[in-house]
Amino acid sequence: MKKYSRVFNYLLPYKGKIVLYFIYTLLSIAFSIVSIGMLMPFLQLIFTNPDPLCADCSSLTKGSSNPAVQYINSWLLNSITTKGKLATLGIICALMISFILLKNLFLYLSYYVLNPLKNTIVNHLREDIYSKILQLPIGYFTEKEKAIL
C-alpha cells in the first residue's frame, strides 16, 4: 500500500479535475443506460398492437415490476391513445437520439479532462525520476551488474 500512496501524492494537486472526470464518466454511463433502456418501449410499440378500444390493452404495462418501467409503459400507452402510434415512435426516436448524443458528449468531456491530466502526471513522474537519477553518485552505476540485452 505504501507504493500506491507515493503515486497518490502525485494526484493530490489535481483532485478537482479527477472529480470532474468521474462526474462526466458517471453521466456518460447513466445516459448510456437510459438510451439502451429506451429500446424496450420502442420495440414493444413496434411488435405489439395495442388497440385503445380493447379491454386487453394492459399488455404494455405488464412488462416489469420496476416502477420506472411501469411509468414509461403507462406513458407510452397514454401517448399512443392520445397522439397516435407514429407520433409516439417519433418521440421515442428523438429521445433515443438525444440520450445517445448526451452520452457521447459526456464521454468526450471526460476524455477532454483526462488526457491533459494524464500527460501532466506522467511528465511530473518522469521529471522526478530524472532528477533522482541525476542525484545518484556515479558509483551507483558502475557497481551494479549490467543486464545483457
Q: Which triple of cell numbers denotes residue 89?
A: 415512435
| Residue the block writes with cell 540485452 | 149
pLDDT computed for residue 108 by the predictor: 97
Residue with cell 411509468: 71
d(C-alpha 45, C-alpha 72), whole Å:
12
Listing DSSP states for 122-148 in one string gives HHHHHHHHHHHHHHS-HHHHHHSPPPP
**Tell me, what's the pLDDT at 54?**
46
Angle of CA points 87, 30, 61, to nearest 5° = 45
Give the model's pLDDT for residue 55: 44
pLDDT along the chain (149 residues), means of 10: 82 93 95 80 67 49 64 79 84 87 96 95 93 85 64
Nearest to 80 by CA among 70, 89, 71, 72: 89
Number of helical (H) and strand (E) elements in the chain, helices listed first: 6, 0
